[in-house]
Chains A and B, each alone.
Chain A
Amino acid sequence: AQKITQTQPGMFVQEKEAVTLDCTYDTSDQSYGLFWYKQPSSGEMIFLIYQGSYDEQNATEGRYSLNFQKARKSANLVISASQLGDSAMYFCAMREGRWSGGSNYKLTFGKGTLLTVNP
């Protein structure tokens, strides 16, 4: 069974509008973390935003915010005021399992959503 599901293979948005990229996850762990990464066509992975399972408030980073609904196991990424440079693949990823802090953890990635921002 897929642990991270991104149901939108592709999304289109008009420049300056907001867009929501969906992500649902499956885990039986109480402690886990959810990440969103951006991958432009050049290939590098750019970290955007993080939400811990115990975080009570939705994470925000500039134009990025995470709509975290724990009961529904969803962690959707909201990009406000889209820019042409936002066109890229977006991956949702999860850290789960035993974790002692720090950044030594495995990530499981979803299949990604290709976002295209139209002028």
Chain B
Amino acid sequence: GAVVSQHPSRVICKSGTSVKIECRSLDFQATTMFWYRQFPKQSLMLMATSNEGSKATYEQGVEKDKFLINHASLTLSTLTVTSAHPEDSSFYICSAGAAGRNQPQHFGDGTRLSIL
């Protein structure tokens, strides 16, 4: 079964709305989670690294005020797309890894965001 749960799977909303996406690790504690963005027929681009109890680390070119990340617990990270516009429409996917456990990261099922 899934070890990383991502919710919602699909969002359609009006321009100007803020959208929150949740990423939960289900059977392990994730001190670090990663948020990726994927445009149609393109690769996954890392947006930011979410660190439990501290500020997220954003990749170059990613607006931290636009994409707010909160990692308040060891099992939950949230990505909020603030005042979303049509150009923010994309597929957002998170992954989680556990320190001290040499396993591949687990990915959520992704969130398809459509801004009208």
Q: Give A residues with C-beta under 8 Å from B.
A: 35, 37, 42-45, 47, 50, 91, 100-112
Contacts and interface: CB of A to CB of B under 8 A. Distances in A.
Contacts, number: 66
Contact of A108 (B46, B91, B109): B46
Given A35-B104, A47-B104, A106 B43 contact: no
Interface of B: 31-32, 34, 42-46, 49, 91, 93, 95, 97-110, 112
A18 to B, nearest CB: 24
A104 B31 contact: yes
Contact of A110 (B43, B95, B99, B108): B43
28 contacts: A37-B107, A43-B93, A44-B108, A44-B109, A44-B110, A45-B44, A45-B93, A45-B95, A45-B107, A47-B104, A47-B105, A47-B107, A101-B102, A102-B98, A102-B100, A102-B101, A102-B102, A103-B99, A103-B103, A103-B105, A104-B31, A104-B97, A104-B99, A107-B34, A107-B44, A107-B105, A108-B46, A109-B44
Given A43-B91, A44-B110, A47-B104, A105 B43 contact: no
Q: Nearest 8 pairs between A and B by C-beta? A: A103-B97, A45-B107, A104-B32, A102-B99, A43-B110, A47-B104, A109-B43, A104-B97
